[in-house]
Structure 1
Amino acid sequence: MSLWKDFKDFFFPRTCMGCGKKLLVHESVVCLSCLSGLPFTGLGNTPGNGMERQFWGRFPIERASSLFYYAKGGEVASMLHGMKYYGRRKVCRQMGNWLAAELSATGFFDGIDCLIPVPLHPCRLRQRGYNQSGLLAEGISEQTGIPLCTDALVRTHNNRTQTHKSGYERWQNTDGLFAATVQAASLADRHILLVDDVLTTGATLTACADALSSIPGIRISVVTLAWAK
């Protein structure tokens, strides 16, 4: 087994998602140097935290949390870019495991009935081959045992990436972007957790919540890997 691992590392070296350097045998996803400098939010399950307040007045949010702060050009930005565009499927799940492990101890997942990752449009999904938010949610599910629900919400428009849009353009770009399916009726009186890779203006997650808002008794919480505070 060790010989096979050495063979893979020689021909397919594992590299740090933060700085790009080769990972040592005992390192995973990011090197120890980058790990020590990662900007953890420490939000945990704190009621009324800054991330939760970002959604106040938009929809009745139960709770919100994120593992890292996001800054353009930083290690977290490099990690997210690799997850989104370079086929790092295993890393997406590992980050979901990590996120869940950190937040489980705070009770953040208590009472959550199902996980709903922000969906991609089918055309974008075929092009990319995977949904990074979906894989992140899979990693959370593996760690917590909370089931996934991937058939209740659909993306109705194949809109362009939000990356280079202003805050106002992001809100315009998400108007009517998602729709609840007939399967969403099963979410009545349940507490769902929307899962996405990064929170910026909150436009995308608010659009998801709006699409589900007509379901009787639904309660909505939000979790992301990173938050651009």
Structure 2
Amino acid sequence: MNLSLYNMLQDFKNFLFPKLCACCDAVLLKDEQLICTFCRNELPLYPNFFDGDHDLHKILYGRVLVDQAASLFYFEKKGIIQNLIHDLKYKGNEDLSFHLGEWLGNILQEAGWQHKIEVVIPVPLHPQRMRERGYNQVEGFGKAIADKLSASYNDGLLKRKSNSTTQVFKNRLARTEVVQNHFYVEGRSDVKDKQILLVDDLVTTGATLEACSLALKEAGVTKLNIATIAISK
């Protein structure tokens, strides 16, 4: 097939099935990728990607000691990032997951995180949720970051025991052993004394990250870092 015919077929395909912005559902222009230019300029970027004053330290204060944390965006209900996260979770937009991972990965690479991270681990989905959704929405995010930092990516170490929501953990007085037992590590020798980067899409109460972090600490992780797509403002 010659190039001109291929381009014609692609244009026709795009006409029948136009690619939409992950934030506003507007039809993307030919040179736009995943997010339209208007929305890209409106994205509420997190101002301090990796400094010691990251909001995650405050959210998890007194519960889990995090070495370094990074986020791309601020999240607000009914805001542009809520639309983006919804598109990522429920519309199967795997390309968006990789795109955001490359974005944050480049920032972390410039900050020298490639010298600090050995293994990237995603917050896992319960198998039932995985079957319903078809993929883990942070898989591409984590893989892209791991590639940028020359680290390994492993989604088989951290496991979820329950498919219940993290609502039960919203009370910060919940017993530590209950929180910890929500997740477990399979293959502790693969994480013991390693520099781990735990990745997730959105931080609100920090309950899920707390539970994952406690499981990793119990498995022998001494240096835990966290990266997320967004964090509640």
Say yes or no: TM over 0.5: yes
- Pairs within 5 Å for 1:61-140: 61-140=66-145
Query: Who is 1:206 aligned against?
Result: 210
Which of the numbers 214, 218, 232 marks the counterpart of 1:228?
232
C-alpha displacement of 1:47:
2.1
Question: Aligned-pair RMSD on alpha carbons?
Answer: 2.2
Distance in 1 between the 2:65 and 2:165 partners?
28
C-alpha displacement of 1:50:
2.5
Query: Who is 2:48 aligned against?
Result: 43
Q: Is the CA contact 1:52–1:65 (under 8 Å) kept in the aligned structure 2?
A: no
Query: Who is 2:21 aligned against?
Result: 16
Which of the numbers 29, 32, 35 marks the counterpart of 1:27?
32
Task: Output one character per residue of 1:179-211: Cα deviation in whole Å (capped at 9) or x when no partner.
Answer: 111x12221111100000001111100100111
The percent identity for this pair of structures is 33
Q: Is the CA contact 1:151–1:184 (under 8 Å) kept in the aligned structure 2?
A: no
Query: Which SS does the other structure have where 2:227 is aligned?
Result: strand
- Pairs within 5 Å for 1:113-192: 113-160=118-165, 167-168=170-171, 176-181=181-186, 183-192=187-196
Q: Is the CA contact 2:122–2:199 (under 8 Å) kept in the aligned structure 1?
A: yes
C-alpha displacement of 1:153:
0.9
Relative to structure 2, which stretch is displaced further, 142-151 or 123-132? Answer: 142-151
Q: Is the CA contact 1:156–1:178 (under 8 Å) kept in the aligned structure 2?
A: yes
Residue type matched to 2:210 in 1?
A: T
Q: TM-score, normalising length from structure 2? A: 0.88
Relative distance call for 1:6 and 1:28 in structure 2 (3 A) is: same
Gaps of 5+ in 1: none
C-alpha displacement of 1:98:
1.6
Distance in 2 between the 1:7 and 1:146 partners?
40
Distance in 2 between the 1:93 and 1:133 partners?
8
Higher Cα radius of gyration: 2
Q: TM-score, normalising length from structure 1? A: 0.89
Distance in 2 between the 1:91 and 1:216 partners?
33
C-alpha displacement of 1:151:
1.8
Distance in 2 between the 1:87 and 1:50 partners?
29
